[in-house]
Structure 1
Amino acid sequence: MRFDIKMKVKASVEMLIKGATRDQYEKEIKRAIKKEIKTTYQYTQKRDIDLFRLSEKLYRKDIKAWKKVETNGRIPLKEDTLRSIQIDVQIQDTGKHRLTPIFEGQRDKGWENQ
């Protein structure tokens, strides 16, 4: 069994780096989240813990496939069980001021009303 993780994330930036672009922030956020998911999966997989509840997800989506691979009510988790991790990041604000544009050309909701 292989699983794909897809996440949509709304992020706030607490500290701005002069000259950094929105794309640079989004890439770094994606990289950090992806790394955290992989590290967490590897840690829990080695300890036979299904932290992301992959067995349950398969059971609810395709019980026939689950029955073919389950052992003692759980599917075996291997290093390559996570096939892909896709992160979609939307930067909303700076955290300090919700309606302050943090990147050139950005228009936040409600900005025109100020």
Structure 2
Amino acid sequence: VLEHIPDDETAMKELYRVLKPGGKAILQIPLENDRDVTFEDDSITDKEERAKIFGQYDHVRVYGMDYFDRLRFIGFDVNAVDYTAHLSTDEVDKYRLAKGELIPVVTKSVV
């Protein structure tokens, strides 16, 4: 849901806070693998324009590959996992993954 939240950094910090030390989370979002930097523009308020640019009218950003660094900045240990490389075509369809989709599997370090 991070693509819906205007202040995603605060939301990520809260996810980090509530995850127990040693805990893991899958923080999957719509990610454009060919986009280096996440795109946000609060000035776009028209629903049709938002849908065209962000993929849905209620999204506030399009995440790029810097998403993994954004999670690291919060404190998570991050692994970008391509499960589709190890699953059959039927399994990829069953789990509704996009071929080559990188899934962020994060861990909170034990302190």
TM range, normalised to the smaller chain? under 0.3
The higher relative CO (CA closer than 8 Å, separation ≥ 6) is in 1
User: Highest Rg: 1 or 2?
Assistant: 1
TM-score by length of 1: 0.23
